[in-house]
Amino acid sequence: MAIIKTGICSYGMSGKLFHAPFIQNHPGYELTGIVERHNNDSRERYPRSKLYRSVDELIADDSIQLVIVNTPTHLHYENAKAALTAGKNIVVEKPFAVTVKDAEEITALARGKNLFISIYQNRRYDGDYHAIKDVLEKNYWAS
């Protein structure tokens, strides 16, 4: 199995709690790079990953194949487009984009370059999600 070299655009809460631990512990991925604009918090836990001071630096690394776009929502479009333009596959946190137009453009760009794109949704395994899904599937309100 080929190892997917992965970079994280931000080492804030989602980078620390969700993305970095998953990538680090999954045998199919390598945590290749982490963006921290000012701090060095990731160095203690992930000393083998490269430290970048900007998303542009991370995207410019030719070894990175997958970019996790976990920046603030208003930057999702910009960062996703830059990563795709550079030939990177992407996972974008929700909300995927601010406008439908932005989402459609990013999707078309990924298709046109034959790149993988996914929206990160970690809550789909929570009990409340399953309860709502069950209600919708059984159409309880129509009775």
Q: Residue 125's pLDDT is what?
A: 61
Q: Rounded CA gap, 117 and 97, in Å? A: 13
Q: How many CA atoms lie within 13 A of 69 on its CB side?
A: 29
pLDDT in tens, 77-120: 999 999 999 999 999 988 889 999 999 999 999 999 999 999 88
- Write down the pTM of the prediction: 0.83
CATH number of the domain enclosing 107: 3.40.50.720
Residue 134's Cα: distance from chain center in Å? 28
What tokens does 106 get? 């990013």
**Cα-to-chain-centroid distance, residue 20:** 10
Provide the CA 57 distance to its chain's centre, in angstroms. 16
Could you tell me the two tokens for 83? 């990563």
Per the structure, the complete domain to which residue 91 belongs is given by 4-142
- Predicted confidence (pLDDT) per residue in 2-34, tens digit: 999 999 999 999 899 889 999 999 999 999 999
How many domains are there within the chain? 1
